[in-house]
Structure formats: C-alpha cells, structure tokens
C-alpha cells in the first residue's frame, strides 16, 4: 500500500488517498458537474463532502469544475486537463485520450465563440494539505449521447500523455488505471435534449480600478414573454470565492398587468445581485433566456449590465455642488434600473423589486439587516442609505443564434 503524493482526485467520498483504490470509480466527487449553473470556489472548497451531478443541457454552455486536495506537506502548483469521452469511445482510449477531446476554459480575454482564444487547461495551486478548485471548464455538447468526463492533473501535456491508459480495451483495465493513479478522476454525465427555444449570449467583464468594489450585476430582458426564464453566471470566482450570477428566475407579469392578456409580455424585466469584485478582476459572463414553450417576440432583447456603488465626488465648484444636491440616489437608481427589477442574494434570498428591493439588498450586504422585515431603512422617504450614487459601467446586447 502507498499514499497519493501530489493532488488527489477521489474516486468516492470515502477515498483518503491510499493506493491502489477500490470500489466505485465512475462518479468522482471532485469533478463537479454544474450544468448551466455556476459554483463558487468557496462553495467547492468548503463543501468537500458534497457531490454535484447536474444534468448538462444540449447545445448550451455547461460548467464543469475540478476540485483537488494537495496531499503533500508543501505547496504545489500543477495543471488540470479535462477530457469529454463519448460512451461509444470509452473502451478506445487511443482515440479519446487526445487534445481533440479536451474540454476548454475560456479566459477573461477570450471569446466563447472563437476556439483560437480558448485554453486546454487550468493552473491550480494549494498549500500542503489544502483544497483548491478550478474555474468553470465550459462545454456545449451537440448530442445527447452518453458521455464521461475524465480529469487529469499533471505538470504538462507531455506528462498527461506519459500517463496513457494502457489498460484500455476493457472496463476492468480502465478501472485499474483509475485505481492506481490518484491524480485521475472519472465522472459519468447525463445530457438532456433541448426541448425549448433558448437564446444564449456572453459578455466579458473587468474591474480595471486598482481597488475592490461592490458591484451590482443585472440581467435585463426586454419584451420577454411572461413565464419565460432568465439566468446568468460567470465562469470564474472572485478572490473572495463568489461567482457572479443568478439561477433561473421566472419572468412575472409587469406591474399593472400585461397590455395584451392573450399574449402577456413583460417590457422590462431585470434580475440582479451584488458581489464584491477584486481590483483587476476579469471574467466571462454567460446569460440566457429560456422561452419555456413561448414564441420569442421579434422585439425581444437581452443584456447584462454592471453598476458600481461609489461615494459621490467632492464638489469642485458651486455648479457641481448644486448638481450633487439635487441628483438624489433615487434619481440615479431610476436611470439604471426599472421598477420591475428583482433583487436576489447569492443564496437566492429575494429582497424585493424596484428601488425598495435594491435598498434592502444593499443594506443586507453591508451588514444592516436589522429591521428590514419592517420596511426599507430610515422609515421610508427616499430610502437613503448613505452618500452613494449608481453609475453604469458596462453592458452587452443580444445576438440571437442564427
């Protein structure tokens, strides 16, 4: 018997790194299959006993993460490679154990529609005995054929090739390969067919300021059918371990009801939450609308915007002083968001809609939760939460699939 040295990818939650391993090997808990959802790095690391095995969605950008534990007593840095293996090729490693079957990562300066900007690995680092995790490898499966994903951690691509699964040709041989190598993980995945119309798009985001900032990310859907669903997510975490985004949120009727009850449309629906982003943080944000059996209107559009809450600047002259005095927080909010905007926390907690919902969310994320159940802070009025203003810093528009 021997113990794994280097990074460990477990075969099961009971795997402690003793070689050779035994038992089940097709559900590696350290390959987190998130589907179209996002998982923060903090969540992956802090929930080491949790398994993620969501369905993947055909034709959509799906997220897959790899988590690993450094079994050494000293710091370690290596690369993570992830293969996607069609069920028909499982017993033919000479075909799938190649770069053509790698799942890629889109860096912040990349383009999810341009493969020449993707990278085929992610670098991970961890101190002795510590756990770490990658950002999201993204994959758009084009069929619903059964697949497996196989993670390999190594120093380089040459090191990956040097660990070729020579036991191929039988399931027994593949099992022995996994059992004998602690840096390997295998996870079967399920791909669901696309049964409704989904528009998906992406935008890059960067915080170019030399300081951490509290930023509100909002997805906006214009002229969207009531009953449709919208969602968005980033492919990397902030340094504090958060991800940008919200899971599926169903579009409600607009305030006052739809103009045409026979074809209810919400002219402006928004959902958003606030995240503290690090100085120079960059990421890719994917956003989508699932029309849920409804027909996409020709006037439909979707976008993502980022707003930063900043201190108001000091008045430089009398004219600016008057402007600041009359440019209230409420007016600034109204320029950026609709009364129908829905505000939710990272854990899914709903703070409300419109200006009141935004104030509740900001108060909660700045440690002022007390008294929120009774109403907005400061007893109503303009709901002022400090000398703050909202400034739009980025957006992207819809590019429906051709």
User: β-pairing, 342-344 with 350-353?
Assistant: antiparallel
Residue spans of alpha helices (H) in 7-138: 41-46, 93-96
In the chain, where are the structural domains located?
Answer: 2-192, 198-396
329 burial via Cβ count (<10 Å: 0-12, 13-18, 19+): buried
User: Looking at beta carbons, which pairs linking 362-371 to residues 24 or more positions away fall under 8 Å?
Assistant: 362/274, 362/309, 365/214, 365/274
Whole-number pLDDT of residue 188: 97
Rounded distance between C-alpha atoms, residue 288 and residue 41, angstroms: 22
- Lowest mean per-residue pLDDT among 214-218, 274-278, 347-351: 347-351
Is the predicted pLDDT of residue 401 greater than 50, yes or no?
A: no
The residue that leads in pLDDT, 108 or 75, is: 75
pLDDT-above-90 percentage for the chain:
56
Distance from C-alpha of 401 to C-alpha of 148, rounded to nearest angstrom: 28
| CATH class entry, domain 2-192 | mainly beta
More confident residue, 328 or 20: 20
The encoded tokens of residue 336 equal 């950026």
Mean pLDDT along residues 126-136: 97
Quick check: 242 and 42 in contact, CB under 8 A? yes
Q: For residue 387, is pLDDT > 60?
A: no
pLDDT of residue 96: 94
* Token pair belonging to 74: 């000293």
**What was the pLDDT predicted at 390?**
43
In tens, the pLDDT along 178-211 reads 999 999 999 999 999 999 999 998 888 888 777 8
At 207-261, the pLDDT tens digits run 877 788 888 888 889 999 999 999 999 999 998 888 999 999 999 998 888 888 8
Report pTM: 0.80
What is the rounded distance in angstroms from the CA atom of residue 151 to the CA atom of residue 186? 7
* Residue from 116, 112, 111 nearest 138 by CA: 112
């Amino acid at each position: 018997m021997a113990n794994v040295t280097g990074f460990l990818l477990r075969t099961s939650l009971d795997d402690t790194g003793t070689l050779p391993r035994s038992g089940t090997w097709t559900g590696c808990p350290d390959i987190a299959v998130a589907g179209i959802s996002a998982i923060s790095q903090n969540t992956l690391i802090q929930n080491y006993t949790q398994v993620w095995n969501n369905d993947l969605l055909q034709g959509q950008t799906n997220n897959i993460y790899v988590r690993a534990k450094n079994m050494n007593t000293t710091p370690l840095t290596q690369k993570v490679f992830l293969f996607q293996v069609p069920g028909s090729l499982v017993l033919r490693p000479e075909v799938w154990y190649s770069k053509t079957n790698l799942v890629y990562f889109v860096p912040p300066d990349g383009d999810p529609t341009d493969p020449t900007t993707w990278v085929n690995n992610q670098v991970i680092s961890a101190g002795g005995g510590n756990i770490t995790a990658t950002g999201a490898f993204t994959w758009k499966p084009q069929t619903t054929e059964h697949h497996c994903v196989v993670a390999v951690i190594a120093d380089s691509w040459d090191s990956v090739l040097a660990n070729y699964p020579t036991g191929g040709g039988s399931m027994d041989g593949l099992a022995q390969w996994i059992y004998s190598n602690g840096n390997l993980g295998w996870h079967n995945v399920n791909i669901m067919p696309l049964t409704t119309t989904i528009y998906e798009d992406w935008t890059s985001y960067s915080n170019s300021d030399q300081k951490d900032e509290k930023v509100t990310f909002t997805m906006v859907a214009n002229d969207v059918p009531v009953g449709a669903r919208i969602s968005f997510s980033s492919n990397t975490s902030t340094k504090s371990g958060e991800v940008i985004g919200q899971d599926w949120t169903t579009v409600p009727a607009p305030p006052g009801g739809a103009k045409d009850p026979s074809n209810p449309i919400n002219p402006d629906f928004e959902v958003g939450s606030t995240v503290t982003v690090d100085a120079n943080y960059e990421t890719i944000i994917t956003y989508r609308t699932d029309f849920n059996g409804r027909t996409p209107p020709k006037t439909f559009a979707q976008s993502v915007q980022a707003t930063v809450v900043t201190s108001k600047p000091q008045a430089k002259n009398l004219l600016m002083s008057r402007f600041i005095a009359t440019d209230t927080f409420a007016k600034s909010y109204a320029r950026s968001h609709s009364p129908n905007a829905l505000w939710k926390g990272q854990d899914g907690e709903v703070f409300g809609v419109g200006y009141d919902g935004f104030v509740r969310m900001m108060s909660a994320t700045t440690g002022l939760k007390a008294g929120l159940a009774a109403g907005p802070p400061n007893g109503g009025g303009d709901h002022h939460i400090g000398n703050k203003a909202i400034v739009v810093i980025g957006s992207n528009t819809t590019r429906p699939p051709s």
